[in-house]
Amino acid sequence: MAKVDTSLVAHLPLFAGVKPEDLEEILREARSARYPKNSAIFEQGADAQSFFLLLHGHVRAAKTTPTGEQIVVRYVAPGETFGLAMAIGAARYPATAIAVDDSVALIWPTSAWPRLIERFPSLAANTLQTVGTRLQESHTRILEMSTQQVEQRVAHALLRLAKQSGKKLDHGIEIDFPISRQDIAQMTGTTLHTVSRILSGWEQQGLVESGRQRIILRDPHGIVVLAERSPDSGAA
Amino acid sequence: MAKVDTSLVAHLPLFAGVKPEDLEEILREARSARYPKNSAIFEQGADAQSFFLLLHGHVRAAKTTPTGEQIVVRYVAPGETFGLAMAIGAARYPATAIAVDDSVALIWPTSAWPRLIERFPSLAANTLQTVGTRLQESHTRILEMSTQQVEQRVAHALLRLAKQSGKKLDHGIEIDFPISRQDIAQMTGTTLHTVSRILSGWEQQGLVESGRQRIILRDPHGIVVLAERSPDSGAA
DNA sequence: CAGGGTGTTTGCGATAGCTCAAAAGGCGGA
DNA sequence: TCCGCCTTTTGAGCTATCGCAAACACCCTG
């Protein structure tokens, strides 16, 4: 097991208020692992034996219905935690985590959590903050799904992805990991067909440039305008 | 300020693992207040000066868009906390809270939170658990909105309300606070018209009995069946 | 460089649910 | 008791979006 350099993670929200020597102790309990592109990190319903801190790459968390339909819960960016089932008192993972790019994560055994938060209460407070923020974001997503049309929801989704994992280009922002029409559909509650039609339209208007699992926002501001447009204030 | 009896709240999840004498200290920092039916407890966007523990009554938390559309985030039942903006690091309330019945709540100043969790780390751990559970529920709701038809979503919503705040009757379960078609629409992402049509249909099938802001599930199991029915396995 | 597989595009018809509109019912207050 | 308001019901037409189907494009592999 490789030693983890504290300086790489010390600034993360998870460790806010944790003293350097404590951080080292915390990291000693972790191991790190590499996940190749498209490999599963854990499966929905499996025993929640570990929780994770993503160091490199990108991870998709998805939830599947009994009938096989999926939604994307979120994309995890480097520096974020995932698989925190134990923090919420769940014995099993509520979603599946897949590395969408070659990824590296720190891994703690779930069993270590109670001891860790007892010794380092900041961890609990910080995690509460994180989970609370995600709850807010979920509510926003519900609000959008309830009140907005598909095109606006797709616009919001892309803007969020760009903010979280956007790579600045000379002219535009590229989403920095492979993402398909289907993925976006599963983030916005629609079908890949509808997403494809929307992106085709945007491409013709010069708002985006996209291809196989690749999206570049050529005119982010124009997409913001779309995202905020009221349902009927229509284009041609 | 009336003294709060610890025995009334000691068993709540929030206080799990808190010693009786500590609980008393925690409660000493709270005051209690009464909210008449239909009064606002706090407004979305207002300074988050307090957080709450509902003792009696029912509270609706709703989120409003810039354009005035609303969704119901959740209904708060006695024993649950709400208005935890500070736990997630928000300075303002992300939603509006309205008492839907005459209600009583314990109130702590937000400023007390950091000190409380430092002195009583269980509070943070318990709150994390609660917030985590709510996050899960949110994801489930998103999943439903993405994959189910309106009728199924309404069925799920009613079943949840019945479980959380149902009053057992001789023949059926009554939702124990005033709730309109509009409210249900805002919980499920549809319109009051559609909800009305659905409930009318169910009423004719003897599944429910309902009226002005009042719903009784006459055949909860029948509604479970509806909720789980796959999109097409249709009725007449 | 051909083949296979996955992801994307696009057309077309079907429809669930929305919107608009109007009427009716029930409840609380004067 | 009567009035007025708010909630609920119901109708009718419309449309955004889905579902299905087929063709296409790209990438990786052998």
Domain membership flag for residue B236: no
Last residue within a domain, chosen from B107, B138, B169: B138
Do A130 and A155 have their domain in common?
no
Residue A19 above 80 pLDDT? Answer: yes
Given CB atoms, is A7 within the 8 Å cutoff of chain B?
no
B65 and chain A: CB distance < 8 Å anywhere?
yes
Position B84 in a domain: yes
pLDDT one-digit tens code per residue, A145-186: 999 999 999 999 999 999 999 999 999 999 999 999 999 999
For B200, residues 6+ apart whose C-beta sits below 8 A from its C-beta are none
> A14 and A61: one domain?
yes
Does A147 touch chain B if contact means CB atoms closer than 8 Å? Answer: yes
> Are the C-beta atoms of A177 and A165 separated by less than 8 Å?
yes
pLDDT at A1: 54
Q: What is the pLDDT of residue A147?
A: 97
- The answer on B168 and B103 residing in a single domain is no
Q: Which residues of B touch A125 (CB under 8 A)?
A: 117, 124
In this predicted structure, the answer to whether residue A2 has a pLDDT above a threshold of 70 is: no
Percent of chain A with pLDDT over 90: 92
The closest alpha carbon to B213, from B180, B236, B177, belongs to B180
List of chain B residues with pLDDT < 50: 234-236
pLDDT of residue A236: 39
Would the CB atoms of A63 and B143 count as touching at under 8 Å?
yes
Same domain for A106 and A181?
A: no
Domain assignment present for residue A234? The answer is: no
Instruction: Give per-residue pLDDT as tens, B187-208.
Output: 999 999 999 999 999 999 999 9
Residues of A in contact with B143 (CB under 8 A): 63, 65, 71
| pLDDT in the model for residue B87 | 81
**What's the CA A182/C1' D30 distance, rounded, in angstroms?**
29
pLDDT at A61 over 50: yes
Residue at B143 is within a domain: no
Q: Does residue B233 lie within any of the structural domains?
A: no
Interface test with B, best of A44, A122, A147 (most B CBs within 10 A): A147
Q: Do B94 and A139 touch (CB under 8 A)?
A: yes
Is residue A89 very low, low, confident or very high in pLDDT (cuts 50, 70, 90)? confident
Beta strands at B214-217 and B172-175: parallel, antiparallel or unpaired:
antiparallel
Strand C bases contacted by the protein (CB, 7 Å): 7-11, 16-21, 25-27
The band of A235, judged by pLDDT with boundaries at 50, 70 and 90, is: very low
Residue-range definition of the domain harbouring residue B108:
6-138
> B122 and B161, same structural domain?
no
Measure, in angstroms, how far nucleotide C8 C1' is from residue A200 CA.
Answer: 10
Which of B72, B142, B144 would best serve as a mutation to test chain A binding (most A beta carbons within 10 A)?
A: B142
Any idea what the CATH number is for the domain that residue A163 is in? Answer: 1.10.10.10
| Strands, E assignment, B139-227 | 166-169, 172-175, 208-211, 214-217
Q: How far apart are CA A145 and CA B156, in angstroms?
A: 17
Supply the pLDDT for residue A3: 63
Query: Does the residue A111 lie in any domain?
Result: yes
CA distance B66 to A163: 22
Mean pLDDT of A74-88: 94
Pair B182, B212 in one domain:
yes
The full DSSP string for B99-130 is ESSSEEEEEEEGGGHHHHHHH-HHHHHHHHHH
Query: The CATH number of the domain where B102 resides is what?
Result: 2.60.120.10
Neighbouring C-beta atoms of residue B69, cutoff 10 Å: 14
pLDDT for res B1:
55
Q: Could you read off the pLDDT of A92-116 as tens digits, one per residue?
A: 999 999 999 999 999 999 999 999 9
Q: Last residue of a domain, which of A105, A129, A144?
A: A144
**Average pLDDT score over chain A:** 94
Distance from CA of B87 to the nearest CA of A (A): 6
Q: What is the pLDDT of residue A15?
A: 97
The gap between B224 CA and C6 C1' (Å) is: 38
Select from A69, A84, A138 the Cβ nearest to the Cβ of B147: A69
Domain end call among B138, B170, B192: B138
Task: Check whether residue A127 and residue A179 sit in a common domain.
Answer: no
Mean predicted confidence (pLDDT) in A47-65: 97
Question: Does A23 share its domain with A109?
Answer: yes
Q: Is the pLDDT of residue A35 over 90?
A: yes
The number of distinct structural domains making up chain B is 2
Tell me: do A77 and A121 sit in the same domain. yes
Whether nucleic acid strand C comes within 7 Å of the CB of B151, the answer is yes
Contacts of B141 in chain A (CB under 8 A): 142
Looking at residue B157, what is its pLDDT?
Answer: 98
Q: Tell me whether residue A195 is in a domain.
A: yes
pLDDT at A234 over 50: no
In this structure, the answer to whether residues A76 and A106 fall within a common structural domain is yes
Helix (H, G, I), strand (E, B) or coil at B61: strand
A64-CA/C15-C1' distance, Å: 26
Whether B128 is in a domain gets the answer: yes
A70, A123: one domain: yes
**CB-based contacts of B53: which residues, under 8 Å, 6+ apart?**
B9, B12, B14, B30, B79, B80, B81, B105, B106, B108
Helix (H, G, I), strand (E, B) or coil at B63: strand
Q: Are A158 and A221 in contact (CB under 8 A)?
A: no
- Comparing CB atoms, the residue among A94, A117, A143 nearest residue B136 is A94
- ipTM of the complex, rounded to two decimals: 0.95
User: Quick one: B50 and B111 in the same domain?
Assistant: yes
| pLDDT tens-digit readout, A185-204 | 999 999 999 999 999 999 99
